[in-house]
Amino acid sequence: MTVPQPIAGAQRVGEVVLAVENVSLSFGGVKALVEVSFDVREHEVRAIIGPNGAGKSSMLNVLNGVYHAQKGTIRLRQGAAWREFHDMDSHEAAALGIARTFQNIALFKGMTVLDNIMTGRNLKMRCNFLQQALWAGPAKKEELAHRRAAEEIIDFLEIQHIRKTPVGRLPYGLQKRVELGRALAAEPTLLLLDEPMAGMNLEEKQDMCRFVLDVNDHYGTTIVLIEHDMGVVMDISDRVVVLDYGRRIADGTPDEVRSNQAVIDAYLGVAH
Amino acid sequence: MLYREAGQFKSTYAQDQQIFPILQDRVAIAILLAVAFLLVPAFGNQYWLGAILTPFLIFSLAALGLNILTGYAGQLSLGTAAFMAVGAFMTYNFVLRIPGIPILAAFVLAGLCAAAVGIVFGLPSVRIKGFYLAVATLAAQFFVLWVLQRVGWFSNYSTSGVITAQEIAILGYRFDTPAKKYLLTLAVVAAMALLAKNLMRSETGRAFMAVRDMDVAASVVGIPMMKTKLLAFAISSFYAGVAGALHAFTYLGTVEPEAYSLDLSFRILFMVIIGGVGSILGSFLGAGFIILFPIFLNLASGWVSGLFGVEISFAVVSNLEVIIFGGLIIFFLIAEPHGLARLWQIAKEKLRLWPFPH
Ligand SMILES: Nc1ncnc2c1ncn2[C@@H]1O[C@H](COP(=O)(O)OP(=O)(O)OP(=O)(O)O)[C@@H](O)[C@H]1O
Ligand SMILES: [Mg+2]
**Would A116 be classed as within a structural domain?**
no
pLDDT band at B172 (very low <50, low <70, confident <90, very high): confident
The sign of the CA dihedral A153, A159, A160, A162 is negative
**pLDDT computed for residue A10 by the predictor:** 46
**Would B15 be classed as within a structural domain?**
no
Q: Percentage helix, strand, coil, to 5, in chain A?
A: 40, 25, 35
Helices B262-275 & B339-353, crossing angle to 10 degrees?
A: 20
**Would A128 be classed as within a structural domain?**
no
Mean pLDDT of B133-154: 92
Q: Tell me the pLDDT of chain A averaged across its residues.
A: 91
**Would B34 be classed as within a structural domain?**
no
**pLDDT computed for residue B321 by the predictor:** 84
Q: What are the residues whose beta carbons fall under 8 Å from the beta carbon of B65, sequence distance 6 or more?
A: B80, B83, B235, B236, B237, B238, B239, B240, B243
- Ligand 1 contact, A3 CB (< 6 A): no
The answer to whether residue B60 scores a pLDDT higher than 90 is: yes
Instruction: Write the Ramachandran bin of B45: left for phi over 0, alpha for psi from -120 to 50, otherwise beta.
Output: beta
Q: Which of B202, B231, B342 to mutate to test the interface with A (most CBs of A within 10 A)?
A: B202
pLDDT digits (tens, 9 = 90+) for B318-331: 888 888 888 888 88
Q: Which residues of B touch A95 (CB under 8 A)?
A: 222
What range does the domain containing B71 cover? 44-353
The answer to whether residue A44 scores a pLDDT higher than 50 is: yes
Query: What is the residue with the minimal CA distance to atom 1 of ligand 1?
Result: A27
**pLDDT computed for residue B130 by the predictor:** 82
Cα(A54) to ligand 2 centroid in Å equals: 8
pLDDT digits (tens, 9 = 90+) for A80-138: 899 999 988 999 999 999 999 999 999 999 999 999 999 999 999 999 999 999 988 89
- Identify residue B268 by its one-letter amino acid code: I
Of B46-60, B223-237, B267-281, B338-352, which range is least confident?
B338-352
Most confidently modeled of A6-15, A71-80, B85-94, B301-310? B85-94
B143 vs B158, more confident: B143
**Would A118 be classed as within a structural domain?**
no
Mean pLDDT of B146-160: 91
Task: Work out how many domains chain B is built from and give that number.
Answer: 1
Q: Tell me the pLDDT of chain B averaged across its residues.
A: 89
Query: What is the residue with the minimal CA distance to atom 12 of ligand 1?
Result: A32
The CATH number linked to B314 is 1.10.3470
The answer to whether residue A4 scores a pLDDT higher than 70 is: no
- Ligand 1 contact, A4 CB (< 6 A): no
Mean pLDDT of A218-223: 92
Q: Do A90 and B219 touch (CB under 8 A)?
A: yes
**Would A262 be classed as within a structural domain?**
yes
The CATH number linked to A30 is 3.40.50.300
The answer to whether residue A2 scores a pLDDT higher than 50 is: no
**Would B5 be classed as within a structural domain?**
no
Rounded to whole angstroms, how far apart are CA atoms B219 and A88?
A: 12
**Would A89 be classed as within a structural domain?**
yes
pLDDT band at B3 (very low <50, low <70, confident <90, very high): low
The answer to whether residue B350 scores a pLDDT higher than 90 is: no
**Would B31 be classed as within a structural domain?**
no
B33 vs A268, more confident: B33
**pLDDT computed for residue B306 by the predictor:** 81
> Among all ligands shown, which has an atom nearest to the Cα of A52?
1
Nearest chain B residue to A99, by CA = B221
**Would A122 be classed as within a structural domain?**
no
**Would B27 be classed as within a structural domain?**
no
φ/ψ of residue A203, rounded to 5: -65, -45
Of B3-17, B57-71, B295-309, which range is least confident?
B3-17
Residue A105 · residue B220 · CB < 8 Å: no
Say whether residue B212 is in contact with chain A using an 8 A CB cutoff: yes
The answer to whether residue A7 scores a pLDDT higher than 60 is: no
**pLDDT computed for residue A40 by the predictor:** 96
**Would B217 be classed as within a structural domain?**
yes
ipTM of the complex: 0.91
φ/ψ of residue B202, rounded to 5: -110, -170
φ/ψ of residue B187, rounded to 5: -65, -45
**Would B88 be classed as within a structural domain?**
yes
What range does the domain containing A20 cover? 16-97+188-268
- pTM equals 0.91
Q: Which residues of B touch A68 (CB under 8 A)?
A: none
Count of other CB atoms within 10 angstroms of residue A141 = 13
The answer to whether residue B1 scores a pLDDT higher than 60 is: no
Q: Do B198 and A135 touch (CB under 8 A)?
A: yes
Task: Work out how many domains chain A is built from and give that number.
Answer: 1
List beta partners, residue A41: A16
Nearest chain B residue to A104, by CA = B217
A270 vs B180, more confident: B180
Nearest chain A residue to B194, by CA = A133
φ/ψ of residue A204, rounded to 5: -65, -40
Instruction: Write the Ramachandran bin of A42: left for phi over 0, alpha for psi from -120 to 50, otherwise beta.
Output: beta
Q: Which residues of B touch A127 (CB under 8 A)?
A: 202-203
Mean pLDDT of B18-36: 84
Of A147-151, A176-180, A215-219, which range is least confident?
A215-219
Rounded to whole angstroms, how far apart are CA atoms B36 and A78?
A: 58
Quote the minimal CA–CA distance from B202 to chain A in Å.
Answer: 6
Closest alpha carbon to B287 in B140, B187, B279, B27:
B279
Q: Which residues of B touch A123 (CB under 8 A)?
A: 221-222
**Would A26 be classed as within a structural domain?**
yes
- Identify residue B116 by its one-letter amino acid code: A
DSSP A180-216: HHHHHHT--SEEEEESTTTT--HHHHHHHHHHHHHHH
**Would B19 be classed as within a structural domain?**
no
